[in-house]
Structure 1
Amino acid sequence: ITNPSLVPAMKKAAAIVTDTGGLTCHAAIVARELNTPCVIGTNIATRVLKDGDLVEVDATRGVVTKI
């Protein structure tokens, strides 16, 4: 879940990945406006990924891969 206080960090991100959300959620709307790749609704991202992990994000396929 994202909120307006996270927008400055989202502007710096190469991609956005969330556990929850849908096509009209805050993260998806901000990502669209920033032209930033986004995968939403992973259900497990915050359990699997940790700060500093390198990941590859294929937003077209909705796939996030830990490198």
Structure 2
Amino acid sequence: MIAKMKDGDILVTETTSPEIMPACKKASAILTNQGGLLSHAAIVSRELNIPCIVGLEDITHLINDGDILEVDANNGFVKIIKKEKKKGVLKNEIHP
């Protein structure tokens, strides 16, 4: 996931750490499952001047690579604009 990040992508992750700083620097916003006001993600996003919402609990399970999102960090709001269609065959589409 981190290696595929392009400039302007939204970083959706369990939490941030110094190891993923290259991805944070490319991100247009950061969304994390864990964290608070003094978490690594919150501090880094303030330093990089990018929107960040922490403590979203299940965000990594709700968002997939390629989903189009609207992030309003001022109000703590994330909206899925468009879900990315899965590539390949889904298990429930296989018929004997």
Establish whether TM, by shorter chain, passes 0.5: yes
> Among 37, 40, 44, which residue is 1:23 paired with?
37
Residue of structure 1 equivalent to 2:50: 36
Between the aligned partners of 1:11 and 1:53, the Cα distance in structure 2 is: 20
1:10 partnered with 2:24: yes
Deviation at 1:51, TM superposition (A): 1.2
Structure having the higher Rg? 2
CA drift at 1:44? 1.3
> How far does the alpha carbon of each residue in 1:2-56 deviate from its partner, in whole angstroms, 9 at most, with x for none?
1101111111111000011000000000000000000110111001001111111
Specify every segment of 5 or more residues in structure 2 that has no aligned partner in the other structure, as ranges: 1-14, 82-96
The answer to whether structure 1 residue 66 and structure 2 residue 83 are counterparts is no
Count of residues in Structure 1 that have an aligned counterpart in Structure 2: 67
Give the TM-score, by structure 1 length.
0.96
- Per the alignment, in what secondary structure is the counterpart of residue 51 of structure 1? coil
What is the percentage of aligned positions where both structures have the same residue? 54
Structure 1 CA distance, aligned partners of 2:53 and 2:78?
A: 8
Give the superposed CA RMSD: 0.6
Greater RCO between the two (CA within 8 Å, min separation 6)? 1
1:55 to 69, 79, 94: 69
Gaps of 5+ in 1: none
User: What is the TM-score normalised by the length of structure 2?
Assistant: 0.68
